[in-house]
C-alpha cells in the first residue's frame, strides 16, 4: 500500500480502544500516536509499539498525522476538544448530544475552515448509521412514520443513575425493545406507541451489605425520566455475578420506516435497519475509522470545514476504486 493513512487517537477509554482495534483491520491505515490526559507512562495500550503522548503535545505532531480521531465524551470533552483540534488537524468525532449538534457543528466548522482542515462530527451509530437510515428511508418513503428502538444494550446513563442511589454498590441497566411493539411496526399498522410500550428496563443491582433492598427497588422504579415511565425489572445479584455476567457492553437497535405508496396509498412498504452488537464501543470505533478514510481523501481533494454523515458519498469510505465498487458491490 503506497499511501498509508496515519491516524491519531485522542482519549483512550473504551472508544479509544475500539478505534485502536479497528485500525488494525484496515491495512491502508496506521496508528501513529495515542494522546492522553493521563500520564502517558501509565497507559497500557493494546499494541505497545504505539507512541503514547501527552495531549498537551499534540500540536507538535500536526505533520505526522493525517486524521485525528477524538474519543472523548460529549458532555465536557468534545465541546472543547472538537473546535480546538479542528484548528490543527483533520478530525473525526462521535459527538452525540443530539440537541446541541447544530451549535457544535458551527463551532467545529468555523475552526476547521479557517485553518483549511476538514472535520466530520457525530459519527457512530446513533448519531451515525441510524441517522443515515432515517434520512434515506424518509426520502424514499415521504409518507410514513419513523420508529427507533434501542437495545438490547447497556445504557451507561441509566446504570449511573442506579449507582447514585444510597445503598447501591454496583449496577448495570439493559434497555430492551419490546418484541410485540416491533412486530406491530413491521406489520405496517403504524401504531402510536407510548414510552412504556416500546422498551423495558432491566436492572442488575449489587446492594451494599445491610442495605434495604425493597427501598432501593422502589427508588429505581419510581425515578422520574429514567424509570418511572417504563416497566422496570430489578434483580439483585452478587458483585461476582455482576463482574462475570455483566461486564460486556452489548447494544444495538432498530430504525424502521413504515410507509405507504401507490393508488390510494394502499401498499405498505417497510424499510428496516438494525444492529446487534457484542461491543458498542468497538462498533462505534469501527465507524469512526471508516469515516477517517473518507475525511483523508476529501481533505486531499481540498474540502474544508465541518461535515456530517449526510454529506459524504459512501464510495469515500472504501479503499476500493469506483470501478471496483461498481463491479463487485453494485
Q: Which residues bind its own copies (CB under 8 A)?
A: 18, 21-22, 25-26, 46, 98, 101-102, 105, 122, 127, 129, 131-136, 138-143, 186, 188, 252, 259, 261-263, 266-279, 282-283, 285-287, 290, 293, 308-315, 317-318, 322-323, 325-327, 329-330
Binding residue per annotation — 38? Answer: yes
Binding residue per annotation — 109? Answer: no
Nearest Cα to 65, choosing from 117, 1, 22, 26?
Answer: 117
| Nearer residue to its own copies within complex by CB, 199 or 251 | 251
For residue 328, what are the β-bridge partners? none
Alpha-carbon distance of 10 to 13, in angstroms, equals 10
| Nearer residue to its own copies within complex by CB, 21 or 236 | 21
Query: CB of 233: closest distance to its own copies in angstroms?
Result: 25
Alpha-carbon distance of 315 to 330, in angstroms, equals 11
Query: CB of 274: closest distance to its own copies in angstroms?
Result: 5
Alpha-carbon distance of 205 to 165, in angstroms, equals 11
Nearest Cα to 5, choosing from 248, 321, 297?
Answer: 297
Query: CB of 157: closest distance to its own copies in angstroms?
Result: 19
> If DSSP codes are grouped into helix, strand and coil, which group holds residue 207?
strand
Binding residue per annotation — 257? Answer: no
Nearest Cα to 114, choosing from 95, 92, 86, 93?
Answer: 86
| Nearer residue to its own copies within complex by CB, 154 or 168 | 154
Binding residue per annotation — 125? Answer: yes
Concatenating the DSSP letter of every residue in 23-90 gives HHT-TTEEEEEEEESS-GGG---SSTTSEEEEGGGGGGGGGG-SEEEE-S-TTTHHHHHHHHHHTTSE
Half-sphere exposure of 188 (CA within 13 A, CB side): 12
| Nearer residue to its own copies within complex by CB, 75 or 140 | 140
Q: Tell me the longest C-alpha to C-alpha distance in the chain.
A: 68
Residue keyed to cell 463491479? 327
| Nearer residue to its own copies within complex by CB, 164 or 267 | 267
Query: CB of 80: closest distance to its own copies in angstroms?
Result: 20
Binding residue per annotation — 26? Answer: no
For residue 10, what are the β-bridge partners? 35, 70
Q: Quote the cell numbers at residue 259.
A: 410507509
Binding residue per annotation — 76? Answer: no
| Nearer residue to its own copies within complex by CB, 164 or 276 | 276
Query: CB of 202: closest distance to its own copies in angstroms?
Result: 21
Nearest Cα to 250, choosing from 202, 291, 212, 209?
Answer: 202
| Nearer residue to its own copies within complex by CB, 47 or 64 | 47
Binding residue per annotation — 124? Answer: yes
Binding residue per annotation — 127? Answer: yes
Query: CB of 193: closest distance to its own copies in angstroms?
Result: 19
Binding residue per annotation — 96? Answer: yes
Query: CB of 312: closest distance to its own copies in angstroms?
Result: 6
The annotated binding site is made up of: 12-15, 36-38, 71-74, 94-96, 123-127, 150, 175, 201, 251, 280
Task: Please state the residue numbers annotated as binding site for substrate.
Answer: 150, 175, 201, 251, 280
**Feature table: binding site for NADP(+):** 12-15, 36-38, 71-74, 94-96, 123-127
Amino acid at each position: 500500500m503506497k499511501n498509508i493513512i496515519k491516524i491519531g487517537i485522542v482519549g483512550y477509554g473504551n472508544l479509544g480502544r475500539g478505534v485502536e482495534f479497528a485500525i488494525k483491520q484496515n491495512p491502508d491505515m496506521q496508528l501513529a500516536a495515542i494522546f492522553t490526559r493521563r500520564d502517558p507512562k501509565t497507559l497500557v495500550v493494546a499494541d505497545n509499539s504505539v507512541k503514547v503522548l501527552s495531549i498537551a503535545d499534540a500540536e507538535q505532531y500536526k505533520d505526522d498525522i493525517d486524521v485525528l480521531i477524538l474519543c472523548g465524551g460529549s458532555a465536557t470533552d468534545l465541546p472543547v476538544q472538537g473546535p480546538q483540534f479542528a484548528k490543527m488537524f483533520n478530525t473525526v468525532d462521535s459527538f452525540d448530544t443530539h440537541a446541541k449538534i447544530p451549535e457544535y457543528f458551527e463551532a467545529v466548522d468555523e475552526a476547521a475552515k479557517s485553518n483549511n482542515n476538514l472535520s466530520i462530527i457525530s459519527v457512530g451509530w446513533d448519531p451515525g448509521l441510524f441517522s443515515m437510515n432515517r434520512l434515506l428511508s424518509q426520502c424514499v418513503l415521504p409518507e410514513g412514520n419513523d420508529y427507533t428502538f434501542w437495545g438490547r444494550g447497556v445504557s451507561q446513563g441509566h446504570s449511573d443513575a442506579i449507582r447514585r442511589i444510597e445503598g447501591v454498590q454496583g449496577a448495570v441497566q439493559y434497555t430492551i425493545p419490546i418484541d410485540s411493539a416491533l412486530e406491530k411496526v413491521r406489520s405496517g399498522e403504524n401504531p402510536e406507541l407510548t414510552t412504556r410500550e416500546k422498551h423495558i428496563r432491566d436492572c442488575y443491582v449489587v446492594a451494599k451489605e445491610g442495605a434495604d433492598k425493597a427501598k432501593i427497588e422502589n427508588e429505581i422504579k419510581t425515578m422520574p425520566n429514567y424509570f418511572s415511565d417504563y416497566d422496570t425489572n430489578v434483580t439483585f445479584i452478587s458483585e461476582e455475578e455482576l463482574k462475570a455476567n455483566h461486564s460486556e457492553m452489548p447494544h444495538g437497535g432498530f430504525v424502521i420506516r413504515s410507509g405507504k405508496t401507490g393508488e390510494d396509498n394502499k401498499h405498505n412498504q417497510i424499510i428496516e435497519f438494525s444492529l446487534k452488537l457484542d461491543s458498542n464501543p468497538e462498533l462505534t470505533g469501527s465507524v469512526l475509522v471508516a469515516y477517517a478514510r473518507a475525511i483523508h481523501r476529501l481533505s486531499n481533494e481540498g474540502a474544508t470545514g465541518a461535515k456530517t454523515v449526510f454529506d459524504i458519498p459512501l464510495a469515500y469510505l472504501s479503499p476500493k476504486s469506483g470501478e471496483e465498487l461498481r463491479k463487485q458491490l453494485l
